[in-house]
Chains A and B, each alone.
Chain A
Amino acid sequence: MYKFMDDENGERQPAATDTAQTGEGLILMKNIWKTYQMGVEELHALRDVSFSVNKGEYLAIIGPSGSGKSTLMNLIGCLDSPTKGDYWINGNLVSTMTDDELARIRNKEIGFVFQTFNLLARATALHNVELPLIYAGMGSGERYEKAQAALASVELGDRVGHKPNELSGGQRQRVAIARALVNHPSILLADEPTGALDSKTSVEIMALFEKLHAEGNTIIIVTHEHEVAERAHRVITIRDGRIENDEKIK
């Protein structure tokens, strides 16, 4: 039912007014706070964060452990909601969205790659990649073809029938990347995508991200490693929940 209503991005109400503020920006965050209530104490994981990301950017977020990088990524990925502040994606104000609208954004606009892959253990690589298409309501024939193509583009065309435990770590992460890409999202988010991989495999995965960026994808990547960050075109440094530095490096 709802599928029907928000199928093409046409009639979302806040869009018209908000586009003015976002300009060409794909992502716009304004004065974002994320506060956890720990008993009587308040823990500010993010303090007054504001920034924007344009289409086609390759952005790395770095910072010490516990500085709020994952918290920020989860907000960008619409997995979590801010305590305070406004967030627009593609001109749509996220904070006023219903659960189902958020699900649609996660499905269509965002491809999320996790440090621990987060594949369905019992499903084959192909089925894992098909899943976002299932939730997008795509018919099985088209779905199969798209999933095959996505797996081929991460060079796993010959492993479609394997389950996650029949794949190497790097292969698993590539399945996860294929899954993130299969719906042609506006933006690809990766929270320490190489954190669980050895250095050789990490290099392969980073090369893949570069290739995807060259193809026109917008990418935000969280990382600890400076080599990884250096490949990006822009680096945001976070410390104690604040943006400490935001610089273009290419």
Chain B
Amino acid sequence: MIRLLGSRFYENLMMALDTLRGNKLRSFLTIFGVVVGVITVMLISSIISGINVAVEKQVESFGTRSIFLYKFNIGFSTGRRSREERMRKPLTVEDSDAIKNLPSIETSVPFLDVSNNFWGSKILVTGRNGKSSSAVQLQGTLPEIEKTTTEVLMAGRWFSQSESDEKANVCLIGSSVVDTYFPYTDPVGEELDIGGTPFRVIGVLEKKEQLFGGGGGNNDQSNVIYMPLGAALKLKPNEDDLFILAVAREGMLDQAKDDVEDLLRVRRRVPYGQPNNFSMETAASIIEQFKSITAGVAAAMIVISSIGLMIGGIGVMNIMLVSVTERTREIGIRKAIGARQGDILLQFLIEAATLTGFGGLVGLLIGWLLTLLVKLVLPSYVPLWAPIAGFFASVGIGLVFGLWPAWKAARLDPIESLRYE
């Protein structure tokens, strides 16, 4: 019985392929919608996977044991901050010191962003080569930064405890800063003018892994200058918007998160049962946040591409109806020599599914070539489900939209179809 069905299926498949070969142009036009739909699925899944991988890499470059602390919520939330959030007091250097002393914590460093001056305008960085830019991120920090993996030193050294205590005007610069101000010279030992004060460059940092291949803009993670916290406060005396990076001891991330949370709740006097008045994230939690956003985008795009597939399906239904009418006589002949309703139904269903399945394969091929292009820009890959879902969706479209035409064909009266001109 199975063998029988199998052979009948094979016969029908061969006949269907024959028909498609006989109607090349029409077949191609019909499957166009399906092809586009499948290409979309392939592209979207590869782009989203690429963005996810890029974000993952970037966030993990801050260290998988890192805990990020800030008074406001960190992450990809949109919209205005709530009143409660806007009223929160900043984290302090003392908070960071207290965290550093927790047994589950290896080290803790505060960061103070002084890119904007007191009046909100950007602080200008000027080099000896005459270049000037306000797009550089200026971060004040403490010598403990050396023990984190946030930045990797490429040349020179980090500043010492005594330089930190003396609020010395020394700085370390990111690779984009090197590109701007010292394209041909070794920057170590040279000077940069930051907001009117000369700073001596003592170290150069490695280029950071960058989303979308990097390059300029405000988002460039390598366009950064680190200086002692005291020196930063001289540039912008009343800045207190502190960000803390704590690093958990090996294998103690969960413990460390609990400890830090408890400590900060006590220090910031959060009443029992109330939510935190600060935010705490890890690389994993930020990646997760981000993935939930891309998953939403993916869902939206899948809805869009399935609309494409639906339109393709209506095209298929249309062409199958035409085909049934055109082939009324053939159907009559088949019935006259013993085809059952089920045989005719199967024949037309297989034909529709072959048509759209073929469209799906073409879409997969073109989509796959396009994802190779995406790979040039993003560390993308095509998740296995995408081609599988794409192919089965195309075949499914053929089956669903072919059902009615096939049913019509199966129900034709033998003698009337034989008389059909």
Contact = CB atoms under 8 A, between A and B. Distances in A.
Interface string A56-85: 000000000000000000100101100000
Interface residues of B, number: 26
A4 B11 CA distance: 20
Contacts of A139: 3, 7
A99 B343 CA distance: 12
Interface in B361-385: none
Nearest to A180: B337
Interface in A76-121: 77, 79-80, 99-100, 103-104, 106-108, 112, 114, 118-120
Contacts of B25: none
Nearest to B11: A134
Contacts of A108: 338
A103 B1 contact: no
Given A4-B1, A120-B333, A139-B3, A103 B338 contact: yes
A168 to B, nearest CB: 20
Given A3-B4, A80-B415, A136 B338 contact: yes
A51 interface: no
Given A79-B415, A118-B333, A104 B338 contact: yes
A179 interface: yes
Contact of B337 (A1, A80, A132, A137): A132
Nearest to A134: B11
Contacts, number: 73
B333 A77 contact: no
Main secondary structure of the interface of B (DSSP, over half): helix
B18 A100 contact: no
A104 B338 CA distance: 6
Interface in B339-397: 339-343
Contacts of A106: 335-338, 414
A135 B340 contact: yes
A122 interface: yes
Interface of B: 1, 3-4, 7-8, 11, 18-19, 22, 329-330, 332-343, 414-415, 418
Contacts of A140: 7
Nearest to A132: B337
A160 to B, nearest CB: 17
Contacts of B336: 77, 79, 106, 112, 118
A108 B334 CA distance: 13
Contact of A112 (B4, B7, B334, B337): B337
B22 A122 contact: yes
28 contacts: A1-B1, A2-B342, A3-B1, A4-B1, A77-B336, A79-B335, A79-B415, A80-B414, A80-B415, A100-B342, A103-B335, A103-B343, A104-B340, A106-B337, A107-B337, A118-B329, A118-B336, A120-B334, A122-B19, A131-B334, A134-B11, A135-B339, A135-B343, A136-B338, A137-B4, A137-B8, A139-B7, A140-B7
Nearest to A80: B415
A90 to B, nearest CB: 15
- For B8, B18, B22, B414, the residue with the greatest tally of chain A CB atoms inside 10 Å of its CB is B414
List the 4 closest pairs (A to B, CB-CB), nearest first.
Answer: A107-B338, A103-B340, A135-B338, A80-B415
Contacts of A120: 330, 333-334
B342 A134 contact: no
A119 B336 CA distance: 11
Interface in A157-183: 179, 183
A137 B4 CA distance: 6
B4 A100 contact: no
Most buried by B among A80, A135, A139: A135
Contacts of A119: 333
Contacts of A74: 415
